[in-house]
Amino acid sequence: MFGSRAKKADASAGKQDVLSAAATQSGAAVWFRTAKFVSLLIFLALVLFGLALFNTKETADTFHYLIKNLSGSEIVYGSSHAPIAFNTDSSVKCAAFRGDIIIATKSGVDLYDTQGELILTDQYAFSSPELLVGDANFLVYDVGGHTLRVYNAFSNVFTTTLPYQIFAVSLHDNGTFAVATSEKGYHAAVYVYNASFQLIYKWLSPDKLVFDVSLCPYDSARLLVATCKASEGNFSGEIISLSTQSEDIVSSVHLDNALPMQVSYVKKDANAHFWVLTDTYLANISSDNQVLAKNTFTSTDLSAYHIGPTYGVLAQKKSMVGTTYELKIFAPGEKEQFCTDVGSQIFDIVSVGKKVYVLAYETLYILEPASKTVHTYSVSRSFRKILPLENNTLAFVSDNTVCFLLME
């Protein structure tokens, strides 16, 4: 295993206590907040006593952090933001959009700023909502349903209901989006809409099934389609490269005896490399269809996965018993970038820039694969999703609350 958990200075112990305390506080009653404020004053008095008694840099640093970040008001400890409460269901999706928070459920979507103020709300009835975010818009669609809705920061700007089921959608930062569906007489259909919501391209296949679609981040005229074809009891996957400027297939990659689950361009790679996740491996493939790296797994040991703008991540259970998982982080073109163990159930994996965030049971892991370092923090056992925001702020989502924590 490369690397180990980074050792923190004594000054950070107080910070981790703050993070843990923040996790359990989400809008208590007035009398409880009053008691909390009194307790805070007592705690700060003890810190002042320690500062006077020991007069060490560690104690001073801890006191500085507490004075800067703690408050006796309704805001969450360790943050300058109020918690957001929402009605939960089993299919809640959350994402950050221009520094605000989107919460999409089966019954509707809400957009909040980080002070907890409701900016936008819209109602619908989806069985399995999925949420995508771009620079210009965000989009909610019903997986296996027929309806797709597009929003800007103020309102619903486009809605379409298709005659056949929606399997997958890809949203470009410029507002272009592609929809994987089917059509009468065709098993697979891909529609591409421009930023003005006009249908500008259609690709149809009579004998393939479509599983996923991905628009190229550097050229929204290019897209990948993950397909599969069954023949005489065997199936063969295929990644097809298309262009909205051509009626012909640009190129394709065959995946023998592998079922493609997800395809995604590497967002930070101008060479247009892309990831392919199948039922047995994660592969990184170049724009000229050369397999640069392939990492296999079995369906029984794969616990979680993530394909982000820079990294591909696999979490595999180390044994049939126990709760230890091996986390493997891959960079484009490399066999294995970084590997470490996670000692509890993994709920969410997110990569932003040079960091990978792993939210496990009662623990947040922040990994920097390039330097092979791991930092850990204690968090609430109720947290299930993490959203990195601007200015070193993280949003943690529990069953019905979003809490904000400042990481310094």
Least confident of 104-118, 229-243, 256-270, 300-314: 256-270
* The pLDDT value given to residue 39: 53
- Please give the model's pTM, rounded to 2 decimal places: 0.77
Q: Is 301 inside any structural domain? A: no
Please give the average per-residue pLDDT across 318-327, as a whole number: 85
Please give the average per-residue pLDDT across 1-13, as a whole number: 37
| pLDDT mean across residues, the chain | 81
Q: Is 59 inside any structural domain? A: yes
Categorize the per-residue pLDDT at 30 as very low, low, confident or very high, splitting at 50, 70 and 90. Answer: very low
Q: Is 15 inside any structural domain? A: yes
pLDDT greater than 70 at residue 236: yes
* The pLDDT value given to residue 34: 45
- % residues pLDDT > 70 (the chain): 77
Please give the average per-residue pLDDT across 147-156, as a whole number: 96
- Edge-to-edge order in the sheet of strand 84-85: 84-85, 401-406, 393-397, 385-388
Number of domains present in the structure of the chain: 1
Q: Is 236 inside any structural domain? A: no
Do 337 and 331 form a contact (C-beta atoms < 8 A)? yes
Please give the average per-residue pLDDT across 80-97, as a whole number: 76
* The pLDDT value given to residue 246: 93
* The pLDDT value given to residue 82: 64
Q: Is 134 inside any structural domain? A: no
**Residue 294 token pair:** 């392939």
Least confident of 64-68, 221-225, 262-266: 64-68
Please give the average per-residue pLDDT across 388-406, as a whole number: 84
CA 161 from chain center: how many Å? Answer: 26
* The pLDDT value given to residue 282: 92
Categorize the per-residue pLDDT at 86 as very low, low, confident or very high, splitting at 50, 70 and 90. Answer: confident
Please give the average per-residue pLDDT across 254-276, as a whole number: 83
**Residue 218 token pair:** 């550097």
Question: What confidence tens digit (pLDDT) does each residue in 52-76 have?
Answer: 454 443 444 333 333 333 332 233 3
Q: Is 169 inside any structural domain? A: no
Backbone conformation region of residue 346, classed left if phi is above 0, alpha if psi is from -120 to 50, else beta: beta
Structural domain of 40: 11-69
The residue among 353, 352, 354, 363 whose CA lies nearest residue 396 is: 363
More confident residue, 20 or 72: 20
Q: Is 381 inside any structural domain? A: no
Q: Is 47 inside any structural domain? A: yes
Q: Which residue has the tokens 């891959």?
A: 330
**Residue 268 token pair:** 């930070």
Task: Output the CA torsion 63→66→67→68 (10° steps).
Answer: 120
Question: What confidence tens digit (pLDDT) does each residue in 329-347 have?
Answer: 998 877 667 899 999 999 9
* The pLDDT value given to residue 45: 54
* The pLDDT value given to residue 27: 42
pLDDT greater than 90 at residue 125: yes
Question: What confidence tens digit (pLDDT) does each residue in 163-199 have?
Answer: 999 999 999 999 999 999 999 999 999 999 999 999 9
pLDDT greater than 90 at residue 162: yes
Do 389 and 71 form a contact (C-beta atoms < 8 A)? no
Instruction: Give the C-alpha separation, 319 to 277, whole Å.
Output: 22
- Edge-to-edge order in the sheet of strand 93-97: 93-97, 100-104, 108-112, 118-123
**What does the DSSP 8-state code read for residue 76?**
P
Instruction: Give the C-alpha separation, 155 to 259, whole Å.
Output: 38
More confident residue, 284 or 88: 284
* The pLDDT value given to residue 21: 43
Please give the average per-residue pLDDT across 304-321, as a whole number: 88
Residues in a beta bridge with 380: none
How many Å is the Cα radius of gyration of the chain? 23
